[in-house]
Chain A
């Protein structure tokens, strides 16, 4: 029976079954893993192969030049290139999460290739320390890399997306000796969020190096560690000790989970985690699988193998085949385990009977009636774990058979069919991506589609994204333009268009435009500019210009217009769209490319561009701005700039107040004044500048004569007040006449100044000089403000307006007098207000009430 043969291929490790079906027989010819350096990407990714230059190998009918070849997982070659890179021996090679091949050479140069064997610029250098002291070992993880050089210094690239090499260890201290083994804990699993490097050194400790330079010694009681590897979830560490023990412990070294004594003290060539539950050790010919309990499982290989750890198992690559070693899922086990009588097994069996038209089918179903849904579920789940299409089909048929007799979620079934169709499509030899269902879920469909696009499998990518209904799903594609959030189909079509342009050198522009537009139109909101940019890169100017016209997004259109030299159009488009950032972009571009006068001419007629230029100039380029104003004849603006500069001069510490350095300031102001005078409309400004220069001179003199640096940069009024406060009435008078200060202002100033120094006699004298031109109010206010009621009373009776009088009395708390004055003014509203201010004073308040009543009574009569 079929069921038996399935389970016959399984191996038991303690209580768990493992199996390793062959997925592909490799399509490649004459690839010997032992002669080559090989890098395999996880998640069914590509395989890079290059002849190992650290080994002496015999050359068959091949060139002495080494070739870097990239295959898919089924051994179908995707691309190849000749390796001509300098830098010495290739030390390490691995794929990043984004499927970029990273190759590190002896001199610390890191070359990056895409899946098409095209070198990605720029190459990265690990620094001069690595250049001088060769790199000896590299360890890679998801998107990063750590390397050790001969000087035992440790370097790291934390993230290839933003490749900035840094030195982890070596500035002050180095590793004490060449490391025995190196492993990394990925940043996503560490407390600090930085990568942590574990280095096995002599004796019995391991060094833990962190990205920010911290080094900790962790002692391990088992002696020097020869090899170690961190589990996929970053929590566990498997190590092989010098005395032939395999230890599994937590990565914080707090406890040892289990240990196993291998028969060999020779460290294994490869050590890898198989999922989370077992560890694989590989010596020549022998692959050993060790779990926490029970006897290990042994596999024998007579050819070299490479272990490729995955999240749910390990792929085993040999010269001729690719196998997938994984734990048998619970659902599969429940169906195919020998002698299983679980509902799922019975359902599967029932289908078999049904196909053979045996009545036992019904019998089986009756047996499991109540647990039918779970049996269906198990069959669906088991189908998902199968690589064999016919077995998938049988399992799904079993599920569908059971489904007919019970209530079951149909969606689950449909969803599994969809998933399997996608998986089978990508597992096809030609595509060669042997994803398991778990890997697929972890990877997500959108990234899978992205990978297909990268491999130029556009048709399949579009079909899958269509099939899964991903068109609406908005995915941010980091490798597309960072700013566009593009739908998946959009990205695919875009990619197609770019490839088309590159491939159609012979097709004339017009025809190619038609071909492109036809497809681009399918996607609303697609970036024409991106396609145009590609056309530009391929040197097709005319096509570029035609495509740019179709771009609705100004932010994409304008930069392209600039790059093809259409500056004027760019400026117009930028101004129209209202995005000032784009206007600036164009401005700076022209500024850099063209002579100043041409720039001035271009912006003169465009107010927005001109004003933005002026704003920038005001902030950062005074001199250039002056040139602009001069060239356009805006002399008054030049004057303002000069005037402003005159103050900046005063801030200069050299021009401390009172020093003769006021000279240059005054010169600047005078220059500004003469420029203002050029135009009639600026007579006021011109006069003001003239007065300012004069004021500075007078203030300077005052500072010299009074030996007090308190005048410069105060206003005319303040200067007068200061003079009066200092008792220098003659100087005050002089300033007054110099600047023709009006009588009114003069009275306010002098009264307040005298009140400041509380010279009440002088104030009284001043009030009697002549009848004050603005009355006695300033005197009253100054006294009240200074809280001198007695002084105030000297002037209040002299106030002409009875309302003012009333309020003045009120302010010094004389209710009766206030009321009298108010009733004289016959102002009801005023009385009300005054009453409010005497709210606390009942007696006063009643006075106001009676007065107001009388008043309103009068009003009525």
Chain B
């Protein structure tokens, strides 16, 4: 199975978006004649693997390299850099050029910025006196379909840049990406935003519409009816909790990167010593599509059931006489055998992690923190983690959860834990702590926490969760319903009005706008739960809600959204846009800044 997912079942035509991106890349390569060495920013490598096969790149005379500090070893005289517009990447390019110059190598340089050129980056090239040697262009990759219902803007650092550095560049990129979608699928008439960044994106989006209008009269009924934008900052509790869905757990323990996990081949039952293999995980895998969103406990049962029934069929096949059509059915079933084996292997590997007492202890602790009832137990648990020098990210992740649910720590505790952290992990982490404090993730307590009110009002903790036959999104965390998705649930059903009071307790402003461009009709003023005429696209498909997370979204949250969209009485299909797929670990990592 390929890592590039089939997007045929997507609720909107995402294939055309991907094809467009592929075509643009190939045009860039074609315009640079002859053989060339393509040096890509490692972060982009993953994104590109979802757009184009490496073999296709080779067909266009491309030698592939990753961008780092080492000089480039190649016979090619044409060097093509494909980099995100990140200031810190420029120094690599400059050092390469300087290095070539000192060796007397004459090369042609091309720099393509993703998603667009940036003055600041070019300024550095200029100051380093290499700008005039380069041909500069851009590769407008603003969004990338990860799967049938998930789009990524591939902005890994968006949250950190906004929350810590005050660099809002990513907000413009996000708005641009959404605006691009509007050019394909029509102007989105309803926009609901919560959080500082989200409200700003909605604002920029309106500006873009004024500057470069999407002509809605030509496009007919917009395919996307509502856009909901949420800041990650609004809900920092959810990502810090360990995800318990199948896909979520895979990400927590094995890191799902661009729709694939990389692991030792021995785990997948292939006996090749020390070799890594990539296992693609997307909806083109029918079985995965079925089980990815289930609670892991249930996944184990489902797999067992499938394996047993397969075995039963097989015994019947060998012992009794079968008709040809029965044989045919059996062979059809056999086709799913590789998928079943693959997921049994993965699940088995996962359970070696989930059965560890340390993991169970941690889940307990997360639960306790979300309940926010026993401050001292939590505090001591974290203190002991630090003393045991457990991996820093694990400690910080729990500490963030602890600080967020308590609206910060009392000054004495705050200073004590910070000191213990610096003593245990080194003073270079001062910068990390400073970042986290700036972002408000680990901070001094200044007012009473309103977490308990929020928790109660939105029913975030659900006591009797049946993970096998769930009736609420809380199944994804075995009892905790993610706050972000609860908000979406309300926003879809009846807009912000019903949760106005709760929204005020959460960080950042909120906004709700109607956008015309489409002939306005009064029936548009309320977004009814029942299907009205306007919500139906002519061919009978359900209309769409695009939920955008600024700062990333976890697989568990996506699962919860899919669960919502599959509920009876739900009038919409949901698709997700995110700056990046994250989990508590990867999100925390973006804040770590080694001074050393």
Chain A interfacial positions (CB closer than 8 Å to B):
187, 192-194, 212, 524-525, 552-555, 577-581, 584-585, 588, 607-608, 610-612, 614-616, 619-620, 640, 643-644, 647, 650, 684-685, 688-689, 691-692, 695, 713-718, 739, 741, 744-745, 748-749, 752, 807, 811, 833, 836-837
Contacts and interface: CB of A to CB of B under 8 A. Distances in A.
30 contacts: A194-B33, A212-B34, A524-B213, A525-B213, A553-B212, A554-B207, A554-B211, A577-B204, A581-B120, A588-B123, A610-B166, A611-B166, A611-B167, A612-B166, A615-B165, A616-B87, A619-B87, A620-B127, A640-B431, A643-B430, A643-B595, A647-B596, A713-B426, A715-B426, A715-B427, A717-B423, A745-B420, A748-B384, A836-B355, A837-B355
A607 B418 contact: no
A619 B88 contact: yes
B123 A578 contact: no
A612 B167 contact: yes
Contacts of A577: 204, 207
Given A553-B212, A579-B172, A640-B434, A584 B119 contact: yes
A644 B595 contact: yes
B28 to A, nearest CB: 14
Nearest to B426: A715
> What 10 pairs between A and B have smallest CB-CB spacing?
A611-B166, A715-B426, A580-B169, A578-B204, A619-B87, A692-B427, A647-B596, A748-B387, A716-B423, A584-B119
A72 to B, nearest CB: 34
Interface in B363-404: 383-384, 387-389
B422 interface: yes
A744 B416 CA distance: 13
Nearest to B388: A748
A193 B426 contact: no
B427 A691 contact: yes
Given A525-B213, A552-B211, A619-B88, A580 B167 contact: yes
B167 A647 contact: no
B200 interface: yes
Contacts of B430: 640, 643, 685, 688
Most B CB contacts (10 A, CB to CB) among A620, A713, A811 go to A620
Most A CB contacts (10 A, CB to CB) among B120, B168, B203 go to B120
Contact of B168 (A608, A643, A745, A833): A608
B116 A581 contact: yes
B211 A616 contact: no
A109 B335 CA distance: 70
A608 B170 CA distance: 13
Contact of A620 (B87, B118, B171, B424): B87
A741 B175 contact: no
The A interface is mostly helix, strand or loop, or mixed, namely helix
Contacts of A745: 387, 420, 423-424
A581 B424 contact: no
Contacts of A739: 423
Contacts of B434: 640
B490 interface: no
Nearest to B360: A833
A117 B88 CA distance: 47
Given A554-B207, A647-B595, 14 more contacts: A555-B211, A577-B204, A578-B168, A578-B171, A580-B167, A581-B119, A584-B123, A588-B119, A640-B434, A647-B596, A689-B427, A715-B426, A744-B383, A749-B387
Contacts of A685: 430
Contacts of A716: 423-424
Nearest to B383: A744
A588 B125 CA distance: 14
Nearest to A696: B427
Contacts of A689: 427
Contacts of A619: 87-88, 124
A581 B118 contact: yes
B356 to A, nearest CB: 10
Contacts of B420: 745
B428 interface: yes
Contacts of B127: 620
B357 A807 contact: yes
B425 interface: yes
Contacts of A555: 211
B172 A580 contact: yes
Nearest to A647: B596
B419 interface: yes
Contacts of B425: 715, 717
